[in-house]
Structure 1
């Protein structure tokens, strides 16, 4: 008889592969089960709701993003350089893994309290009072990392507010670039536009870099 843990991990592995190659629309329970080679009811042994499985898949994305942040900031010579490295890594991740990025920031997964005891979820009827998704546990540490770096940059004002505004700016850059809006308005002469936009965001929220 197959052990629970390997099956659980295989279901997540399949979900990660699906979202990276086919996008969020492919992440149905039945399709994940079919690709994993198990019955359509098997995922319920480990993920009582569709949201629980999607949350587990999205946590893999946050783990990957966190690893990229650590690698990108490891060699940066200053707090500002680390913020820049983090910002570039964030935007690049969004552009390279659009399906996963979209899943990671779905409001219905981030807002775990909204699904506590509602009785309904994306995958059908849910058990009332069951444990909801916990993506906040993945997002908040990454935001705290940004807040810490912003505070070390000596930004004027509340470091949390400045970090939140900078994050919103970077997220907007990622989304608008992915949609083609920014390449359209900037034109073909801005091939390195993403990094320049990250620099502009840092200047706007942290002030110009001091020579």
Structure 2
């Protein structure tokens, strides 16, 4: 017998969590905030209003899952950009551009990932969220480490603190650019080449002379 037109879709065991995260992520993208209720997410997902509690004891847990998915998506975009680059300098430019593109394409999700809605500081993030954030940051650290090892970036080899500072400078560069553009504070319009041009200025500052 065919399903009734308005019947809620049936999900296989283990699929409900993904469906709920996707539904909540879509709401965040549409509303540009995360003021939704779990009941609204359940309605969007086509499940009972109690269903979200099977996977998420509270709304904060669901927000964490949205952030985790965001960091996973960001990491994938940065990895793809790095792998398509011909040299380490271009890899740094490419992952920076991918980072900025992700932030501009996902404004509310980006603010959730890097704001204080989940924790007062990065160190205080719930473990799964912090682990996902570290995974995306590891792409940048890997590029910086390779550039230092190749003698391209100006930092002592085998100096983890120096590498972390170079990575911090690169991160501040793209993170600041994303927020300036999202908040309408940039005096330069967000043309497609802007992230690359800003990245090349950074590159000029960290390359070994």
TM-score of the two chains, using structure 2 as the length reference: 0.78
Contact (CA 8 Å) 1:51, 1:133: kept in 2 or not? no
Contact (CA 8 Å) 2:94, 2:196: kept in 1 or not? no
Map 1:1-211; keep pairs closer than 5 Å: 3-109=12-118, 114=124, 132=126, 134-154=128-148, 155-157=153-155, 158-182=162-186, 185-186=187-188, 192-204=193-205, 206-207=206-207
Gaps of 5+ in 2: 1-9, 156-161
Report Cα offsets for 1:15-37 as digits up to 9, x if no partner.
12112222223433222122122
- Relative to structure 1, the CA distance from residue 4 to residue 54 in structure 2 (aligned partners, 3 Å threshold; closer, same or farther) is farther
Size of the aligned set, in residue pairs, is 189
Q: State the shift of 1:74 in Å.
A: 1.4
Q: State the shift of 1:59 in Å.
A: 1.5
TM-score of the two chains, using structure 1 as the length reference: 0.78
Instruction: Let me know the Cα RMSD of the aligned residues.
Output: 2.6
Match of 2:6 in 1: none
Counterparts of 1:114 and 1:195, CA distance in 2: 32
Classify the secondary structure of the residue corresponding to 1:134: helix
Contact (CA 8 Å) 1:91, 1:171: kept in 2 or not? yes
Contact (CA 8 Å) 2:93, 2:200: kept in 1 or not? yes
